[in-house]
């Protein structure tokens, strides 16, 4: 990565003005994705002085600052206790401890890696993103939009008494998942569930037909079949589309069984 100038603004207003100053200017998190992309940056805008590394429960929501490291999310008692700890578990699966101490939650969300179990878990939790300029945006809507030239300030989700499950299939322990499924059951209304599949290898998406079937009383096996029938799957070096489809049915079945047992 090449950086012409490195600045640590003392307010979000200042950071936003710097970001708007040139399209080469970038907010930097842990720089891990930017290094991989060999990015060329005009002004690197480091938000470390803005106190955005928090994880707290407030107003019935779990609130995570965009500069919280994945390691702090993984170890947070609040994240571990919420919805069977699916977000903490997703964070704990990214690389090794050194990498997780460097990667920020804001960077992980903003880079929108399709293989990301973090995005799958956050979508199952119906997370909301707070941007400095655009305000609050649901994660589902954000993932369908073009990248926003804005500052992600906070990620939050309702702190409900939910149960969750995160399942993935990998060729080897340290490899990226060839498929991931995250579910959150409860949602404050009886019978409600959010069922998400990611790394198909496309971006995480809700299995809405399976969610409706679950609410109508279908069992985990039926819901898994519906999810695998309604989502699209692709081929890549890790697996074929057909293999992913079959794995999705099983992972969704097991995830729902675990979250409801
Ligand atoms: C070896 C390796 C293994 C990995 N494995 C996984 C994995 O298994 N699962 C997974 O999910 N991810 C994985 N990742 C990806 C990791 O999550 C990314 O590197 C991460 O997405 C980038 O986080 P960062 O804080 O380093 O962001 P940076 O690299 O600093 O930034 C990434 C992008 O996000 C933007 N950005 C950062 N913060 C903000 C903000 N607050 N507001 C607006 N834009 C912002 C930057 O401008 C940039 O475009 C892996 C990465 C590596 C290097």
* Residue 183 clears pLDDT 90, i.e. is over it: yes
Q: What is the pLDDT of residues 80-105, one digit of tens each?
A: 999 999 999 999 999 999 999 999 99
Residue 101: Cβ within 10 Å count: 14
Q: Is the pLDDT of residue 254 over 90?
A: yes
Q: How far apart are CA 183 and CA 121, in angstroms?
A: 7
| pLDDT tens-digit map of 45-70 | 999 999 999 999 999 999 999 999 99
Say if CB 34 and CB 1 are below 8 A apart: yes
Is the per-residue pLDDT at 74 higher than 60? yes
Residues with beta carbon inside 6 Å of ligand 1?
26-34, 36, 66, 93-95, 99, 103-104, 106-108, 110-111, 113, 115-118, 151-152, 176
- pLDDT value at position 146? 87
Closest ligand 1 atom to Cα of 116: 11
Q: Within its chain, how far is the Cα of 156 from the centroid? A: 11
Q: What percent of the chain has pLDDT over 90?
A: 91
Q: How far is the CA of 59 from the centre of ligand 1 (A)?
A: 28
Residue 187 has pLDDT above 80, yes or no: no
Is the pLDDT confidence value at 36 over 60? yes
Residue nearest to atom 34 of ligand 1 (CA): 107
CA of 33 to the centre of ligand 1 (A): 5
Compute, in angstroms, the gap from residue 189 CA to the centroid of ligand 1: 34
Residue nearest atom 37 of ligand 1, based on CA coordinates: 107
Report the C-alpha gap between 125 and 200 in whole angstroms: 19
- Tell whether the model's pLDDT for residue 147 goes beyond 90: no
What's the whole-model pTM score? Answer: 0.96
Q: What value does the mean pLDDT take over residues 223-231? A: 98
Q: Which two tokens stand for residue 232?
A: 């699209």
- Residue 259 φ/ψ, nearest 5 degrees: -75, -15
Report strand pairing: 26-28 vs 40-46: parallel
Say if residue 150's pLDDT is above 80: yes
Instruction: Provide, for the chain, the percentages of residues in helix, strand and coil under a 3-state DSSP scheme, each rounded to the nearest 5.
Output: 40, 25, 35
The total of other beta-carbon atoms located within 10 Å of residue 200's CB is: 27
CA of 111 to the centre of ligand 1 (A): 5
């Amino acid at each position: 990565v090449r950086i012409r100038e490195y600045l640590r603004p003392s307010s979000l207003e200042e950071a936003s003005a710097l970001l708007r100053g040139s399209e080469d200017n970038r907010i930097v998190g842990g720089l891990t994705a930017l290094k991989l992309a060999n990015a060329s940056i005009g002004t690197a805008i480091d938000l470390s002085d803005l106190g955005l590394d928090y994880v707290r429960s407030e107003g019935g929501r779990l609130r995570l600052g965009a500069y919280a490291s994945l390691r702090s999310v993984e170890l947070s008692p609040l994240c571990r206790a919420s919805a069977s700890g699916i977000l903490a578990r997703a964070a704990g699966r990214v690389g090794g401890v050194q990498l997780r101490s460097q990667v920020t939650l804001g960077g992980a969300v903003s880079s929108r890696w399709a293989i990301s179990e973090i995005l799958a878990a956050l979508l199952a939790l119906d997370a909301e993103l707070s941007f400095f300029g655009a305000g609050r945006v649901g994660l589902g809507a954000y993932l369908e939009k073009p990248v926003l030239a804005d500052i992600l300030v906070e990620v939050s989700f309702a702190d409900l008494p939910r149960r969750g499950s995160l399942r993935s299939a990998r060729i080897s322990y340290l490899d990226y998942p060839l498929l991931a499924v995250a579910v959150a059951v409860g949602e404050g209304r009886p019978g409600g569930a959010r069922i998400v599949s990611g790394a198909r290898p496309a971006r995480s998406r809700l299995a809405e037909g399976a969610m409706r079937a679950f609410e109508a009383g279908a069992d985990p096996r039926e819901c898994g079949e519906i999810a695998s029938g309604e989502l699209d799957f692709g081929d890549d070096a890790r697996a074929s589309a057909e293999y992913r489809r079959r794995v999705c049915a099983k992972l969704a079945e097991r995830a729902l069984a675990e979250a409801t047992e």
